[in-house]
Amino acid sequence: MKVSIIGAGFGGLSAAALMAKKGYDVTVFEKNDQIGGRARVHRDKGFQFDMGPSWYLMPDVFADFYKKLDTKPEEHFELKRLDPSYRIHFGADKVLDVRANVEDNYELFDGLEENGGEKLRSYLKEAESKYNTAMDGLIYKDFRSVSDFFNLKLLKSGIKLDIFKNLDKLVTDHFESDEARKILEYSIGFLGGSPKITPAIYQLMSYVDFIKGVWFPIGGIRIVADSIRDIAEENGAEFKLNHEVEKIFVNGGKADALKTNKGHYPTDIVIVNGDYPYTELNLLEEKYRTYDQRYWDKKQFAPSAFVAYVGIDKQIDELLHHTLYLDRDWAKNFDEIFESEEPHWPRTPSYYVNVPSKTDPGLAPEGCETLFILVPLAPGLDDTEEDREKFYNQIMSDLEKKVGENIRDHVITKRIFAVDDFRNDYNAYKGTALSLVHTLKQTAMWRPRHHSKKVDNLYYTGQYTHPGIGVPMTLISSQIVADKVDEKFDGGLKYGDIET
């Protein structure tokens, strides 16, 4: 059976590999000239930048995904655990390194507040229990209804999961110091939320961070995307780049063809990885949409981002592979992103600097460094060349002050990516970098469905769907979809039937 996949982000790539492995005839249509989606690569003058994801987290989820394809991550790339995991600056006055060995972090927390180490130990125990419950019962499941979610077993553990409490309340109940609180809350940025609107179940992110660890694939995140494409191709999938899908044709309740800018392609099954709202509102006739404009208008979108990809002709000792600069008053930052009636460019933003060439010198010419500077912005923000340049200089002035040396005079290559690029390059609604925030009302069965309500053979994978944002989550979303499709159509082989 012919499966057409719209988009070659991690969601589309993983769906392609899984469906091809199951024996389906897979074609992937991607509007851009390379695979990866938000995880594309930018290369210039000997520098290589991963344009999106830079943290390889939850290595167990990656291992599990490759296992479904009868292989292992280490057969495709070398993974390195980072130590320190990352460095955090608090305002201008305090700097801490979070280490790979959790015992070192207990000591670090002892220095932050009385009994800090013991408190962290017990906090991580709770986080572990949430992680295990989520992995066993929540994350890999396709929820279809509220009763499905609140079955007795989950309801019981749901009380333990703190679904109805917000993360900020949970953390402030446990810890007193500003630094401890921020270390335990910053990781919520990976889900595009703020601690006050994120359910406390996401305490599990601290278990991911402190215990599962922060890793880096040598060659960059790009190598992970390439390996999944290779597996898909080895199993017969075809990738059509520069093919933008313009319409999904529906006949008798079934999608039977796609129109792209290059031609017309008949199909038996469609899996959409492109941004959900764009696809529903632009590629489908109104009567075939599961969600209308009013639905999307009511949703809370995750931030957009300002990202500067900067190659410099020197190395900066003060920066680690991952360095976070957190403003002391970060509540104001979150308000600027999530609450402001009139979105504006942030005045005193928190930001993140990634220097992957620290771990993999092959990503920059000798003696040089790749800098990736990321600042969250309100979705839908006005974005002009002038705004971007002004903001670049604002952030660079701050960074130069913090590292104590000039950077701007050493720039060999520079590219800025912001709201309008997300909109134009990925068809991102309001230029969101990350889809829908993980509030309670946008989690599990409250995320957009994997299976269209109106079109029998139309499916959705990727960050808009459960379990949500982040590369590991998109790999899981595709496993849910691949199994759903196979359950219904049974047109291919099961994973277990395939000999390698």
Ligand X SMILES: Cc1cc2nc3c(=O)[nH]c(=O)nc-3n(C[C@H](O)[C@H](O)[C@H](O)COP(=O)(O)OP(=O)(O)OC[C@H]3O[C@@H](n4cnc5c(N)ncnc54)[C@H](O)[C@@H]3O)c2cc1C
Binding site for ligand X (CB under 6 A): 6-12, 29-32, 37-39, 52-55, 57, 244-245, 273-275, 305, 307, 374, 426-427, 433-434, 462-463, 469-471, 474
Read off φ and ψ for residue 309, nearest 5 degrees: -100, 110
Give me the least distance between CB of 457 and ligand X, in Å please.
18
Give me the least distance between CB of 113 and ligand X, in Å please.
29
Which single residue is written with the structure tokens 């017969």?
236
In the bound state with ligand X, the residue whose beta carbon lies nearer, of 11 and 448, is: 11
Give me the least distance between CB of 494 and ligand X, in Å please.
24
Read off φ and ψ for residue 260, nearest 5 degrees: -115, 175
In the bound state with ligand X, the residue whose beta carbon lies nearer, of 120 and 319, is: 319
Give me the least distance between CB of 356 and ligand X, in Å please.
11
In the bound state with ligand X, the residue whose beta carbon lies nearer, of 158 and 217, is: 217
Cis peptide bond upstream of 467, omega within 30 = yes
In the bound state with ligand X, the residue whose beta carbon lies nearer, of 154 and 371, is: 371
Contact 54, 354 (CB under 8 A): yes
In the bound state with ligand X, the residue whose beta carbon lies nearer, of 9 and 195, is: 9
C-alpha 462/C-alpha 478 separation (Å) is: 7
Give me the least distance between CB of 260 and ligand X, in Å please.
7
Q: Which residues, other chains included, contact 474 with Cβ-Cβ below 8 Å and sequence gap of 6+?
A: 9, 10, 11, 14, 461, 462, 463
C-alpha 384/C-alpha 337 separation (Å) is: 18
Q: Which helix (H) or strand (E) holds 216?
A: strand 215-217
In the bound state with ligand X, the residue whose beta carbon lies nearer, of 436 and 471, is: 471
Question: Cα separations (Å) of 106 from 53, 183, 185, 263?
Answer: 28, 13, 17, 59
Question: Cα separations (Å) of 283 from 12, 32, 280?
Answer: 17, 17, 6
In the bound state with ligand X, the residue whose beta carbon lies nearer, of 12 and 213, is: 12
| Residue closest to ligand X (Cβ) | 9
Nearest to 188 by CA among 170, 176, 175, 174: 170
Which single residue is written with the structure tokens 């928190």?
350
Give me the least distance between CB of 224 and ligand X, in Å please.
10
Region of 253 (left: φ > 0; alpha: ψ -120 to 50; beta: rest) is left
Give me the least distance between CB of 91 and ligand X, in Å please.
24
In the bound state with ligand X, the residue whose beta carbon lies nearer, of 24 and 352, is: 352
Q: What is the DSSP letter of 202?
A: G
Give me the least distance between CB of 417 and ligand X, in Å please.
8
